[in-house]
Copies of this chain bind each other. A is one copy, B any other.
């Protein structure tokens, strides 16, 4: 079994991105499955180019994309990705799309094929605050999730895929009023999510 797990590079003025910091701290193997860890660029173009190639080449059984959702207080497992790129904040290449489709002539949305509810349940049993999220936004995270699910659908692969959003970690929240989480907890959450998805 092979698991492709990705995190993003920093964006929005942050010095780190907790999604990648947690991915790179994961072991190389979990429950007998090999982990392929990749950092993705925070660019609409980049994820649409890299992810399809990565998925087709590595043929993973499981794709777990992860990203930072600053302001959310808990681990959120995304339910759905929608076919739109829309942002007022430029991506890391300076691109600012307004209501553009990610792929032309493609469905409006794809539901995650990860066991979303089982992951949330397992996280809570591991005493990690977690919830289902019904929107991955319309920025690069949603584009990555949509791209992965669209690639898998078009290629007719069996791969399960989905997206997990994580809060700021403590060091990012020192001078912000909002919520944050220990990095170790996010690493642990990823392990729980992988184990749960492999069992599914």
Contacts and interface: CB of A to CB of B under 8 A. Distances in A.
Q: How large is the interface on A (under 10, 10 to 19, 20 to 34, 35 or more residues)?
A: 35 or more
B178 A73 contact: yes
Interface string A32-75: 00000000000000000000000000000000000000000110
Q: What's the number of copies of this chain in the assembled complex?
A: 4
Contact of A175 (B117, B124, B170): B124
A109 interface: yes
Given A108-B109, A109-B109, A99 B117 contact: yes
29 contacts: A73-B73, A73-B179, A74-B173, A74-B177, A74-B180, A79-B84, A80-B108, A82-B109, A82-B134, A84-B111, A98-B117, A107-B107, A107-B108, A108-B109, A108-B110, A108-B111, A124-B174, A124-B175, A127-B170, A127-B174, A129-B173, A131-B177, A134-B135, A134-B137, A135-B135, A179-B180, A180-B181, A181-B181, A181-B182
Pairs of residues from A and B, 5 with the lowest C-beta to C-beta distance, nearest first: A109-B109, A179-B179, A135-B135, A134-B135, A73-B179
